[in-house]
Structure 1
Amino acid sequence: SQITLPSKTHRQYLMRGLNSNDRADAIISHYQWIDSLKNIALAHALTSPQEVPVVRFEAKNGEIYTVHASSAGKAEREGESTLWLHDNDNTLLASLTFCVARSNGRTVLVIGGLQGPRRHVSREVIKQATRACHGLFPKRVLMEVIFQLASRSNISAIFAVSDEGHVFRALRYRLSKGRHFHASYDEFWEGLNGKKLSPFCWQLPLQMERKALEEIASKKRAEYRRRFALLDDIAASVHARIDPAVVSGKIQTKI
């Protein structure tokens, strides 16, 4: 679905520091992983030129949020597949591009790009979405989809590009593409309890540990319960999408 696929190994791709063989291996591994998915519709969505809805969940006040998937398209230097989070008004809130590769005999997921909304989208829209999702930022919602996708598709580790490791930080792209690089990846990965392995790469946990309710101030427990319930709904939606035999609870995942 990407006409530039043959030339990817000759340019900066996924993460700085990879050689042409590394890039080729990562691309081949990604499509082998796609072929291994039980759900043909999900495999199609992750390779589709157009966005395809894959997960839908209900937030506060009945607002519906939808995660779409597609091939990487315009973010083709950052991976092979992209996830997109849209709100009730179809406003793009965040996007994440990744590739599933092999490392030391293991299947690993590598995040090459994580972007917020378009410039014309106000901060108030993001604040409203965060409130509707009980304190979860849009990028954090997409990460939950990644965590659940990894847990159900034989992913052994999750890696993510650092600020300096992003492909547009390479010398040849710094002047032409640097203006597209805004938020700090390092700060976000650190907030997810990530571990920086090298100047270019972070390792993220496979799942985010939840605080025990007893450790949370009593006045905040109700909000945390709602947040945990939302995370459970997202997980159920992802699991139902990955495994056709799974039927999610109250959220309808067939879109």
Structure 2
Amino acid sequence: ENPFPMEQVTRAFFYAGSTFAERVALTRHHYELLQAWLHPEAFRTCSTFHGLRIWQSEDDASWQTALTFAPGQRKEGHLSLVMTAGGVSLYQMMFWLNLDKTGAPSLFIGAMQGPNAANAKDIIKDITKRSFRYRTKNLILYMTQAVARSLGVQHIYAVTNDGYYAQNHVRRDRKLKTDFGAFWEEAGGWKTDDPRFDELPLIEPRKTMEEVPTRKRAQYRKRFAFLDAIDAQIAASMESIRRSGAGAASPQA
């Protein structure tokens, strides 16, 4: 049903300068980790094109986020977290699971993609308002961090501008919509010894109320409560599809 892993290892996908051997290893580790951590049915669903909803707005069933995989996402990962509202795709985070240089199970973000629909701008504006002025692209990253914690990975790495697989942002007429490096840094990330990847925190840093201007404190309290509810729902959703006692253990060779 999903023929793309064979194509993915033979083409220069995932990140800039990836080798055939590296793509084989990351593909093998991704599916071994996913199979070790998830119930068989959930593993098959995430590995094909059906998708698993892991979050849904309490007041709008059309605003939801799912773990899924589609042919158009195959160049930057083996899984995607896709947020939709009103049937419109808003933001997608493409990623894969792999062992990092130290052998620690980790989540690697290959790209973040924004909306393309003509009416997406108005929907994004509405979603941002309903998220208490929390930007939608930050929200999809926040949800990705929640998924990473629920899986039990030890690190999150995110591709930089230098690491983006296609390097098409070098040309002036094909720039990336998002400056990855600037966005990861803003989200609390830091550089690694590989310029192609930054590391991100597993938990988003939050301002204390003392750091928030008095006039905005009510809004921030509502925002934090909203984000805490997202954490709880994603944790419950992931718990329902995880194998009992599954943790971030290295896959068997």
Is the structural similarity TM-score above 0.5? yes
In structure 1, the partner of 2:225 is: 229
CA distance in 2, matches of 1:188, 1:174: 18
In structure 2, the partner of 1:54 is: 54
Structure 1 position 241 matched with structure 2 position 210: no
Structure 1 position 91 matched with structure 2 position 69: no
Q: 1:82 to 1:215 in 2, by over 3 A?
A: same
Structure 2 unaligned regions, length at least 5: 243-253
Offset at 1:39? 4.6
Q: 1:238 to 1:41 in 2, by over 3 A?
A: farther
Offset at 1:77? 1.2
Offset at 1:37? 2.5
Structure 1 position 207 matched with structure 2 position 199: no
Residues 37-72 of structure 1, C-alpha deviations (whole Å, 9 max, x = no match): 2455543442231344221123xxx34420022124
CA distance in 1, matches of 2:80, 2:127: 20
In structure 2, the partner of 1:163 is: 161
CA distance in 2, matches of 1:245, 1:153: 10
- What is the Cα-based RMSD across aligned positions, in Å? 2.4
CA distance in 1, matches of 2:82, 2:70: 11
1:94 maps to amino acid: Y
Secondary structure at 1:101 match in 2: strand
2:213 maps to amino acid: A
Q: Is this contact kept in 1: 2:99–2:106, CA < 8 A? A: yes
In structure 2, the partner of 1:100 is: 97
Q: TM-score, normalised by structure 2?
A: 0.85
In structure 1, the partner of 2:179 is: 184
CA distance in 1, matches of 2:22, 2:123: 39
Structure 1 unaligned regions, length at least 5: 247-255
Secondary structure at 1:152 match in 2: helix
Secondary structure at 2:75 match in 1: helix
Q: Is this contact kept in 1: 2:114–2:137, CA < 8 A? A: yes
Q: TM-score, normalised by structure 1?
A: 0.84
In structure 1, the partner of 2:189 is: 194
